[in-house]
Amino acid sequence: MCGIVGYIGNKEAYPVLIKGLQRLEYRGYDSAGIALINGGTNIYKVKGKVKDLEESVKNKDISGTIGIGHTRWATHGEPNDVNAHPHMSENGIFTVIHNGIIENYSRLKSKLIDRGYSFKSETDTEVLANLIEHIYKVGNISAEIAVRLALTKVVGAYGLLVTCVDEKDQIIAARKGSPLVIGVGQGEYFFASDATPIIEYTNSVIYLNDNDVAIVTKDSLSLKTISNEKLLPKVQKLDLDIGEIEKGGYDHFMLKEIFEQSKSINDTFRGRLAIDNKDLILGGIHQVMPKLIDAKRIIIIGCGTSWHAGLVGEYLFEDLAKLPTEVEYASEFRYRKPVIYKEDIVIAISQSGETADTLAAIKLAKEAGATVIGICNVVGSSIPRETDAGVYTHAGPEIGVASTKAFTAQVTVLTMMALLLGRKRNVLGDEKFLKLLNELSQVPDKIAEILEQSDDIKQVSKLYSDAPNFLYLGRGYLFPVALEGALKLKEISYIHAEGYPAAEMKHGPIALIDEKMPVVVIATKDKSYEKIVSNIQEVKARKGVVIAVVTKGDSVIRGMADYVLEVPDSHAVVSPLLTVVPLQLLSYYIAVLRDCNVDQPRNLAKSVTVE
């Protein structure tokens, strides 16, 4: 979590930093700060958002062609001005911004206190700043060596930028576990946690790897490992359009991203779903296909919405490829001493590609010798680099903290994988394969049709925006959609919501139902339709309010439910991709009515890089 940004060159750094922080604010938004180097070092930092920082620097000296900036999601110490980054070392020699956690900070801090250091903040980052300074002073060495030596003493994760008053013309960048990208311009360099602050200046970037340290002046970049081995910087070209990271006329990124889903799914298909050739090509997993064909088990790992996509994957792999599949929260998997066989296929799903729990679970799976496949959205992020093979979702940047288009892209990839595997494992006949391929290809148009009803969904949201609780029910492929619908509502509107398999209602949650409890039932026509109709009746018999997501033209449920939201008729296999869309819109409109910060909900961050 936390976003870091930096600039060194001939321009004024301040506008680059502020714009960069705005783009990275999705990563954390409880405080923000900058350091500008102009002779001395001017640090400005405040509790609150980037706009509060901008407000606080009015009439202050914001000049300087070198600068670093930070937007924080608090780990050590509450969000306040003092704990905000940047942090300066005790004697003002080093200034540091940091994304990650220094796990052994407490031990390091005690040792530094013994050596006479005092601390203003409660952060682990100030410990790092003082550790670097201590090593620098004692060793009488260069800033770069001091940073590298300090990092050898650190346990934990970091993406960091460091400046030194004695070597004013450089920024030192280092990475372990938390992402860091350097943009290469003409006589200037840009630094950021991801490429979004960089893209408007240059599309040439260097992704730092774990244990890399970059020593950068405006005219030079030298890359080495922490242990001083020289590295050759690999400059890559970014395929990112500035329009993709702007709101484009929508009130919120989340709404834009919901409305982008026809396009983003088509982007996920591109070069893969060849409907004319009746074929599917997934180049990223081609080399591991023999292992996939022979696999006895798939284990899917992920967190939050990505875990929900994994649950849909479980239905898909078992249904279409007859492959036993387990889905695990990455955070639990890693601490559960799971039994992992060499023949297992572990699929890690992550929008950001940086989720710490998922990365740790991948490490465990690799140590056990399993083949690990990533399904990620952010190109060049850590998970694709840690996995044996993978498929990018290509949904484009997702900036709203609540995941929407990333979910549908993940489910699209999982559907393609399951179809391909079903065919390669000879358990899915040609006819069914082609029928489902065709169903999948129609999803973008069907989503466009659902989005046309957004005004109706807005009307329904007005009736229930004050409800304190919601229940979401679904069966089969639609049970994970119920979980996802509930998560969306919780995270952006702060309404308590729970998702359940509809049949489980009678085992407990039914006790909650009364006339004040809206129950969202996802009840499209599939093989459990009759059963879910019975569940709706059970809710109505207890005076619950039913908002049903139904197949277009369903008059039976229309006659029972209080409100219906229609989706076009489709095969059950693709129904999660359609039914989740009205639920995303419902949560969005409710959150807006409750005056919540939709794109940056409280306490959350887009990329959870701490355990």
Give φ, ψ of 345 to 5 degrees.
Answer: -110, 120
Under DSSP, the state recorded for 219 is S
H-helix or E-strand containing 454? helix 454-464
Tell me the one-letter amino acid at 293. I
Nearest to 272, CA basis, from 261, 288, 283, 264: 283
Least distance (Å) between residue 592 CB and ligand M6R: 16
| Segment near ligand M6R (CB under 6 A); pick from 247-255, 315-323, 566-574, 600-608 | 600-608
Residue 381 engages ligand M6R in binding (rule: CB under 6 A) = no
**Residue in 170, 264, 403, 415 binding ligand M6R, rule: CB under 6 A:** 403
Active site residue 120: no
Q: Where are the beta strands (DSSP E) in 217-281?
A: 221-225, 230-231, 236-237, 273-274, 279-280
Q: Where are the beta strands (DSSP E) in 298-387?
A: 298-302, 325-329, 345-350, 371-376
**Residue in 192, 303, 436, 522 binding ligand M6R, rule: CB under 6 A:** 303
End-to-end CA distance of the chain: 10
Comparing CB distances to ligand M6R, the nearer of 422 and 576 is 576
Comparing CB distances to ligand M6R, the nearer of 36 and 346 is 346
Residue nearest ligand M6R, CB atom distance: 304
**Binding-residue pattern over the window 478 to 497 for ligand M6R, x denoting contact by CB under 6 A:** -------------x------
Comparing CB distances to ligand M6R, the nearer of 356 and 550 is 356
Active site residue 2: yes
**Residue in 65, 123, 163, 305 binding ligand M6R, rule: CB under 6 A:** 305
Residue 608 engages ligand M6R in binding (rule: CB under 6 A) = yes
Tell me the one-letter amino acid at 148. R
| Segment near ligand M6R (CB under 6 A); pick from 133-141, 243-251, 297-305, 437-445 | 297-305
Q: Cβ neighbours of residue 37 under 8 Å, at least 6 residues apart? A: 13, 64, 65, 66, 67, 163, 168
Give φ, ψ of 363 to 5 degrees.
Answer: -60, -45
Residue 325 engages ligand M6R in binding (rule: CB under 6 A) = no
Residue 340 engages ligand M6R in binding (rule: CB under 6 A) = no
Cis peptide before 86 (omega within 30 of 0): yes
Least distance (Å) between residue 517 CB and ligand M6R: 23
**Residue in 31, 99, 352, 551 binding ligand M6R, rule: CB under 6 A:** 352
CA separation for the pair 166, 204 (Å, rounded): 30
Tell me the one-letter amino acid at 87. H
Least distance (Å) between residue 248 CB and ligand M6R: 21
**Residue in 33, 67, 100, 304 binding ligand M6R, rule: CB under 6 A:** 304
| Segment near ligand M6R (CB under 6 A); pick from 129-137, 174-182, 205-213, 603-611 | 603-611
CA separation for the pair 207, 211 (Å, rounded): 12
**Which tokens sit at 384?**
């694709």
Total number of residues binding ligand M6R (CB under 6 A)? 16
**Whether the Cβ atoms of residue 79 and residue 30 lie closer than 8 Å to each other:** yes
Least distance (Å) between residue 71 CB and ligand M6R: 17
Count Cα atoms within 13 angstroms, Cβ side, for 583.
39
**Residue in 42, 196, 325, 358 binding ligand M6R, rule: CB under 6 A:** 358
Residue 257 engages ligand M6R in binding (rule: CB under 6 A) = no
**Whether the Cβ atoms of residue 353 and residue 381 lie closer than 8 Å to each other:** yes
Q: Where are the beta strands (DSSP E) in 166-277?
A: 167-176, 181-184, 189-192, 204-207, 212-216, 221-225, 230-231, 236-237, 273-274
Residue 461 engages ligand M6R in binding (rule: CB under 6 A) = no
Residue 401 engages ligand M6R in binding (rule: CB under 6 A) = yes
Q: Which of residues 88-107 bind ligand M6R (CB under 6 A)?
A: none
- Interface ranges with ligand M6R (CB under 6 A): 303-306, 350-352, 355, 358, 401-403, 491, 604, 607-608
Annotated active-site positions, please? 2, 606
